[in-house]
Amino acid sequence: MIATFLRLPLVALYRREFAEYSWKIFQRDLLAGLTVGAVALPLALAFGVASGATAAAGMVTAVLAGIVIAGLGGAAYQISGPTGAMSAVLIVLAQRYGLPGVWVAGLMAGMFLVLLGVFRLGRYISFIPSPVITGFTSGIALIIAIGQLDNVLGVQTPKAESTLTKLLYYFTHLVVPDWHTLALAALVIAAMLITPRINSNIPGSLLGMILASVAALVAGWQVPVIGEIPRTIVLGERLTLAAIPWGALTDLLPAAISIAALGGIESLLCGAVGATMTGKPIDSNQELIGQGIGNMLIPFFGGVPATAAIARTSVGVKSGGITRATSFVHAGVLLLSALALAPLIGHIPLAALAGVLLVTAWRMNEWESIRFFARARLKHAITGMLVTMVATVALDLTQAILIGIAISALIYIRQSAGSVGVTDEAVDLERLRLIGHRLLNTDASIHIYYLTGPLFFGSVSTVLEALKNAGDWRTLIISMRGVPLIDAMGIQALEQIVEAQRHRGGQVCFSGIQPAVQDMFARTGLLERVGEANIYWSADQAIVALHGEAVPATGAPV
């Protein structure tokens, strides 16, 4: 039993991670955790509010995620908590179903993530195309920015069903901004942009919030503030088993899928970044299990769904963090801040949090990828990105991802179909004689066709069109060395060619079949119908065999 326990993936991760743990490593983890805590504090508050919950909910989420998810996750460097991307999904959900809807959807999403990890499906999340991820990240950034306009402008507009409806309201109604909130948001934005250029060790968001709070207090400005922060990790408003709306689970299922999809994507992308920075791979399935269990527990404390955060993870690595103790320390910093500084935190203006979120939204965009797509004029990638971005803002995340994947798949199919080539040539008997073959006859009714590219439903018409005049030849040699894969329609197209040739009294031989393609030949019965005697290593081997002589050892594959 002990041996089995020691072989568990999480136990194995801990054994490797802490095998050489020392006081020196702990000091590095402690310093890194303190640094990450300072960076995470304003983000936790801001994302709690941006999620449609409260700043306190953001703090609870960050503390629990920093302990539970880090403790059960698949990498030493991952640091989780509330994120901007997740808040963009949750604010829409909160407007429709209230906080109970957010909690239940988060609980269901956690279950889905655990199942993905248990059944080892983590790697399939990486199949989502890069332009789709870039597009929905930009869409989420727009949702965050638009969602904070009320706090920046110091106004209160009616709740809207969608981000587009919210945006249209500003254009169709006269909105008079409060210059006090504009000034506070601008102060935070300036601090976040300027501070890193002066001293990269000072968190610009934290400094900006402190300056904005002091400015509002000294000037006596009456602006909306965070409000009371409970000195507890268990909030009064939280999910209970008795409060679960069992009848609404079906309605919340799409939202739960969205949260699970986003949580999985963000966490594994963060893991990929952390792996590049540290040289240590992430156990993607264990990470999904950790994310799932954490998100199943957090609603019962009043928090919102969490995921791994690239910003916090990269700060932890750059600050010298070695193990997941960095995340534990960061969670401790946040907990102590909530307990000791609650009265001060409650006086932070909402406009200051909005400033943090506006800068975060801008930085969320994958500008390097966007510039690459534009510089390289990758029209297909740009199309997929823009469609996904618009769908993210206009619809919801699940639909946006599905639409983006569908568009990317159609583009890929079109490109793959266009890459299929069919060339033909007459048999060059003189060349074969020059390399040493002694041919017994000079049958001139043999012709060679060379196929290249994947032979699938999108390309079979090209092949059939190219071979429509093949009946002029008694024997066809189809070289498939350049065909890496074939699907059912590809097999059917070849069967059609074989049967048509036989009906005319001719035959078809194949050469250079790759293993994956030959496996399809065998599974579908085409190999048996063609006959193994008509399958050759190369076109030269087929030609020489058809002319009555075996290929010498020097025969080169074609």
CA dihedral 346, 348, 352, 358 (to 10 degrees): -20
Single-letter code of the amino acid located at 45: L
Least confident of 161-170, 217-226, 335-344: 161-170
Share of residues in the chain with pLDDT > 90 (%): 59
Q: Quick one: residue 368, left, alpha or beta (phi over 0 = left, psi -120 to 50 = alpha)? A: alpha
Confidence at 4, pLDDT banded by 50, 70, 90: low
Residue 471 reports pLDDT greater than 70: no
Compute the radius of gyration of the chain from its Cα atoms: 31
Residue 262 reports pLDDT greater than 50: yes
Tell me what the mean pLDDT of segment 533-555 comes to: 75
First to last CA, the chain: 58
Contacts of 115 (CB under 8 A, 6+ apart): 292
Q: What's the pLDDT score for residue 432?
A: 75
Confidence at 26, pLDDT banded by 50, 70, 90: very high
Is residue 104 within 8 A of residue 252, CB to CB? The reply is yes
Residue 554 reports pLDDT greater than 50: no
Is residue 178 within 8 A of residue 153, CB to CB? The reply is yes
Top-ranked range on mean pLDDT: pick from 132-136, 241-245, 350-354: 350-354
Confidence at 394, pLDDT banded by 50, 70, 90: confident
Rounded to two decimals, what is the model's pTM?
0.79
Tokens of 430: 């003189």
Confidence at 468, pLDDT banded by 50, 70, 90: confident
Contacts of 31 (CB under 8 A, 6+ apart): 319, 320
Domains of the chain: 25-235+248-364 (no CATH), 421-546 (3.30.750.24)
Q: Model confidence over 64-86: pLDDT tens digits?
A: 999 999 999 999 999 999 998 89
What count of Cα atoms within 13 Å lies in the side-chain half-sphere of residue 185? 26
d(CA 294, CA 69): 5
b/e burial code for range 384-404 (CB count within 10 A of at least 16 → b): bbbbbbbbbbeebbbebbebb
b/e burial code for range 305-322 (CB count within 10 A of at least 16 → b): bbbbbbbbbbbbbebebb
d(CA 544, CA 439): 7
Q: What's the pLDDT score for residue 549?
A: 60
Tell me what the mean pLDDT of segment 151-166 comes to: 84
Q: Model confidence over 168-186: pLDDT tens digits?
A: 888 888 888 999 999 999 9
Is residue 5 within 8 A of residue 11, CB to CB? The reply is yes
Q: Quick one: residue 82, left, alpha or beta (phi over 0 = left, psi -120 to 50 = alpha)? A: beta
Q: What's the pLDDT score for residue 499?
A: 92
